[in-house]
Structures are given as C-alpha cells and as structure tokens.
Structure 1
C-alpha cells in the first residue's frame, strides 16, 4: 500500500487554489473587500496579509500584533513595513496602506491584530471589540471570503500564501 501511495496511486491530493486576479477583482466588486464595515475591512486585511506577506496558517494570523506593522511614506509613495516574527514559514481605494491604516486605527493601534468585528456606529465608524478572533474563526476566513465572492474552487487559508507565491513566480522573481 505504501509503495502505491508513493507512486500517487489511490490518492487524490487536496491542494488550495490560488486566488486569481479575476477572482480578486470579483471580491472587490461584490463588496467582500473594502471599508464598508468591520467584516469587509477585516477580510481585506486578512487576504492581503496572506498575499503580500505570505502568511497562511491560522497560528501565524492568530499571533499577529498591531506593532508588527508600520505605515510609512517615501519618494515612491506609501508603504507598509511588516516586522515578521519567527515562525514555521516565514491605487486609490485599493491602497493596502489605507486599508491597513484604517484597520489599525479601529483597533487603537495596539494589541491582538484580529479582533471580533462590531456593528458600525450610526455615523459608519468601523469598530472592533477587544476579544481576539478565535482560531476556528480564523481557520474559516478564506473559505468565507470565497463564498461571499462566489469564487469557484478549493479555497483555504493556504490559498493566500499560494497566491503570494504564484504572483511572485509570474512576475519573474527567482525561486
């Protein structure tokens, strides 16, 4: 049996699909991503933390702290500096710096990075509680994002990291 498994017979490899540019656009168009409420902003920040910084595992996300992100500006424009910690793996409205800055400000720029979304105030202010989002909730983020965006495929939190790697590969960055 082990010999057959080593040859790939009798098994179906489950793997996470990367989020394509078309799927990403669909998520913006459907309002899954954006700053209309605390959940859409959190989904946006979660996905781009995966895509831009290669985060994937729920533990990598669960252990994030606000002080691991800095927003700056130089001659090239606004930028995000991510200060990683040791782990197993280490244009306008869509400006990730703007979304991240809004998110960090809503968190008071302190403490756990993913917290329970609260309903917006009457004036539309995005809010989060102090209670961190649990591991089981984090584990479902990418699946929820894909469902809300009507994406077809197998999407897990690893899809974000795969999207990061795929993007780097297609832009010619050496392995």
Structure 2
C-alpha cells in the first residue's frame, strides 16, 4: 500500500522538464558562443539571398553553403579568422544543428566537402602565419606581485585591494580555473579550519563545474590555504579581514562569496600558471602539483610551466662552458 512518503519520493516531471534541465545546465559562455556563431552564419546566408533558418536548409544545399561560408567569412574588421576560431565556429553550428534536427556536420558523410574546404582553409591560414603561435598566459613574477602591493592594488588597505587579494589567493592556493568558478562561489564553500597543532587554514570545498565533473578530473585532496603568522600578506588574515567587512546577512553558507563583483579583467590562467611554476621550480613533483590543480596528466602541467629566469641562466652558463675547458 502506497504511503504519503512514497508519493513525495518521486517528482512528477514532463519531457519538457528534462529538456529544460539540460538547457539550464549548459555553460552560459557556451550558449552565448553558439548563438553568436549561428547568427554569423545566418547573416552570411542573408547576404547570399538565403532567408531560411539554418536548420531548415536541405543537407546538400547546407553542405555547399558551409563550404563557401568557411572560405569567405571574415571578422568585423575584415580580417581572416584564426584557424582554431574557424574550427570553433564549425563546432557551434554543429551543436545548433544537432539540437534542432540531429544533423552532425562534423561526422555525417554528406558534409565531407565542407569539412575538406575548412581543413584546406585552416592549412592555408597557418601557412600565412596565423595560428602558429600558441597564446599562453604569463605567470606573475615576484617583482610584479611586490609592485601591486606597493601600489595598494593588493593588500587589505582598501576595499578594492582586499577584493583583488582575495581573488588572487583563491586562484593561487585553490587552483581555480575560470572566472565563472569565482562568480559561482558561495561563502560556505570556504571553511576556516585548525590543525591538531593549532595552525589555522582555509579549506575549499568545490562544487561540480563544467570542467570538473566529480569523476576522473576531481582533485586528489581538498585544497587548503595555510596561515603564515607574522607575514603581512598572510592569506588567512586577508580572509578574516574580508569576513569582518561583510554584512551580517552575507555570512550565511549560501551567500555569494563575491558581493560587489570582480572589477577589471582578471586572468585566472596567469595566476594558475604562477601556481604551477612556483611549485615546480623548487622541485615539487609534477604528480604532486597535479593533485592540487586537478590536472589529469603531466603534459598538461608542463604546458603551464616554464623555466624560471634563474633556471634559464643556469642552463645558459652550462652551454657557455661547452668547449671552454672549464668542464671536465
């Protein structure tokens, strides 16, 4: 016999509810990118006297349109797109079509010609020097961080500097990846803890994100930020200052962590690269660094790291000694 508790155990949902749930869980940036790229193709189609929606065009016609689109499309400044940007546009269009009518322009044999055109276009662009240099974030140097503190852009002396410092510490110590991770943070995600010997530290309990699904890419341990007593830049002290300046009603676990928002362009990858470089240079094993940052392979960690100036000088000196008689 069914009880009232049994009735409450399962929610009554429709097919529309399942579709809406999928839509809500999509990354906002991905949705905006898809919409923008489909709009770009739509504008191109209109310029070529095609007024039908992309998903309403027959497969043979769409294949030919896409081939011409890849070959002729330019940016708003009338410049060629980077090769990877064109590939990204193709992926956005594919995502739109897969949702609308199940067409896969990345794999379906009917779109072989447009794929070949895109491949040839990307090779041509690369031969022209586009896309050959991989854009990498540069880590902050100790001198640059010192300068930011000296200019009161970091520190606890004013609200903006304190917010910048909290952002820097969270990214540096917790290995946070994108801006969205910061925006989605809740006050309860960070806990103040104390070791058995009395040392204070902050512990970050991350929630699942697009890039962290809770499976193979989850962290090996919970990231921690330890206090450095006597250090004016102690991260735990900065966090305490941040707590003291928050309104009473913003101290609940489900309150937004950043109340006023992050101003300016904060580049997480610069700080993330600083985290990896700073740990690898003192010979912390790459596999140990991976447990903090959440990387899944050593190659990914090495992409973030680069030889320090001191290491480069050491290598240069070794190479300069070749043939000089100073080495045995």
Q: With the length of structure 2 as denominator, give the TM-score of the two structures.
A: 0.39
Distance (whole Å) between structure 1 residues aligned to residue 128 and residue 199 of structure 2: 48
Structure 2: segments with no counterpart, 5+ residues: 1-120, 213-217, 219-227, 288-328
For the structure 1 residues 9 and 36, does the alpha-carbon distance in structure 2 shift closer, same or farther, using more than 3 Å as the test? same
1:70 has 2:223 as partner: no
1:86 has 2:208 as partner: yes
Greater radius of gyration (CA):
2
* Alignment-derived partner of residue 285 in structure 2: 173
C-alpha RMSD of the superposition? 2.4
Aligned positions, number: 142
Distance (whole Å) between structure 1 residues aligned to residue 192 and residue 125 of structure 2: 48
Q: Alpha-carbon deviations, 1:105-158, whole Å to 9, x = none? A: 322423101111xxxxxxxxxxxxxxxx2xxx55x343xxxxxxxxxxxxx232
Report SS of the residue matched to 2:164: helix
- Please point out which of 94, 97, 102 is paired with 2:241: 102
For the structure 1 residues 170 and 6, does the alpha-carbon distance in structure 2 shift closer, same or farther, using more than 3 Å as the test? farther
CA drift of 1:34 comes to: 1.1
Structure 1: segments with no counterpart, 5+ residues: 117-132, 143-155
Moved over 3 A (4+): 3-9
Q: Alpha-carbon deviations, 1:4-27, whole Å to 9, x = none? A: 667894323322211112211221
CA drift of 1:70 comes to: 1.3
Structure richer in helix, relative to its length: 2
Q: With the length of structure 1 as denominator, give the TM-score of the two structures.
A: 0.70
Distance (whole Å) between structure 2 residues aligned to residue 22 and residue 157 of structure 1: 19
- Please point out which of 119, 136, 160 is paired with 2:271: 160
* Alignment-derived partner of residue 39 in structure 1: 160
